[in-house]
Amino acid sequence: MNKDIGPIETKSFTFAESSHGFKLESGRTLGPITLAYETYGRLNEDKSNAILVMHAFSGNAHVAGPVIGDQDPAWWDFMVGPGKALDTAKYFIICINVIGGCKGSTGPSSINPKTGKPYGTDFPIITIEDMVRTQKVLIDHLGIKKLHGVVGGSMGGMLALQWVACYPDSVECVIPIAATLKHSPQQIAFNEVGRQAIMADSLWSNGNYYGGDSPEKGLAVARMVGHITYMSNDSMEEKFSRRLTDDHTGFKFSADFEVEGYLQYRGQTFVKRFDANTYLYITKAMDYFDLSDGQWIPAGGLPGVRFLVIAFKSDWLYPSVQSQEMVRQLQMRQIDATYCEIDAGYGHDSFLIESEAEKQSHLIKHFLAKRK
């Protein structure tokens, strides 16, 4: 079987073009709304083979395939394709950039129709629920009544949970990976440091930097702190240990150690492909997300829904105890929930790394194939 998926174009779908716009959880309206999305494989005749893959914080619609045009590199290429876990020979895979994003969907860098200029911080605050409810408009537009699956890691896992919370009759398989029902204060704290780093940059200018220099230094610092939390102590040890950079002078404030050079590089490349205001809006959405009271589960439970909850042992940012709590709540309500903690060493980002996530692929493939 050819495992190559071939080039996939990013499409876009626009709605809420009337003056009323789309009503957000905050009460504010937003419109028009454009969603950038990609699809892989073919929707079958009864439209029962669709799986929605949801990206993490800094992700985009380009989940798999080679890069065409101004696409970012595919972020889950090893998971999506013919014969892979999200098998494009069997399933119709959809991936949508969230609202608030900066990868083709409407966000703070989009033009505000009222002013003809980018929204900046006039963009309304959005929530994980807003992201899901706008995705549902596109899923409806595609004529899909029920998704065979909703799958995602990190924020993508929160989106998967929010999907079944909003539309319990429209989802069969829910696969939250390295996710949580709510952010802990430590998770909020790390996000807040990132936000403060951006807002401390004088170029941020209260979010109105479009058309001029953007707050790249602050955004790079935010990404650096994020990146530390995505890795494990052990994987950093393995990757860098205390090795010095080739050009270290021994004594200065540039990168003496490889780990410093790597973080600086990750920060500098990130600012070229990400918008600082999107960083603020999306981290806030994650921090506000809270399904921990279980109220979202209907009184009659979720009879048609199955959960596969995956955590990674070395993930200290979204520790496995958060996934266990998710499973505990589901099982207490007699909901079909399977839990698997994978002994991968790369930390939170394990779900994105093929060598770490072999077991993840296997689990997801068989979980999706299982028939009721």
Contact positions vs its own copies (CB under 8 A): 26, 121, 125, 182-186, 188-190, 192-193, 195-197, 199-202, 217-218, 220-221, 224-225, 228, 231, 233, 236-237, 239-242, 250-253, 255-260, 263-264, 267, 280, 284, 287-288, 290, 316, 319
DSSP E strands in 66-142: the ranges are 80-81, 86-87, 92-96, 111-112, 117-118
- Tokens 């807003």, residue? 130
Residue 315 among the catalytic residues: yes
Given the residues 275, 315, 323, 349, the one annotated as active site: 315
To its own copies, the closest distance from the beta carbon of 246 in angstroms equals 17
To its own copies, the closest distance from the beta carbon of 128 in angstroms equals 14
Q: Which residues are bridge partners to 175 per DSSP? A: 151
Pair 295, 166: CB distance under 8 Å: no
* Identity of the residue, 57 or 92, whose beta carbon is nearer to its own copies in the bound complex: 57
To its own copies, the closest distance from the beta carbon of 369 in angstroms equals 37
* Identity of the residue, 102 or 302, whose beta carbon is nearer to its own copies in the bound complex: 102
To its own copies, the closest distance from the beta carbon of 86 in angstroms equals 32
Question: How many degrees, rounded to 5, is the angle at CA 184 between CA 180 and CA 188?
Answer: 110
Q: At what angle do helices 276-288 and 155-166 cross, to 10 degrees?
A: 50
* Identity of the residue, 43 or 236, whose beta carbon is nearer to its own copies in the bound complex: 236
To its own copies, the closest distance from the beta carbon of 109 in angstroms equals 16
- Tokens 């600012």, residue? 271
Q: Closest Cα to residue 31, out of 52, 17, 45, 44?
A: 17
Given the residues 58, 109, 154, 170, the one annotated as active site: 154
To its own copies, the closest distance from the beta carbon of 280 in angstroms equals 6
The one-character DSSP state at 106 is S
Burial (CB < 10 A; 0-12, 13-18, 19+), residue 115, is exposed
Instruction: Give the pair of three-digit tokens for residue 311.
Output: 């955590």
Dist CA 356 CA 134 (whole Å): 32
Contacts of 264 (CB under 8 A, 6+ apart): 220, 224, 255
Pair 307, 335: CB distance under 8 Å: yes
Given the residues 55, 62, 148, 348, the one annotated as active site: 348
Question: How many degrees, rounded to 5, is the angle at CA 102 between CA 99 and CA 108?
Answer: 70
Q: Which residues are catalytic?
A: 154, 315, 348
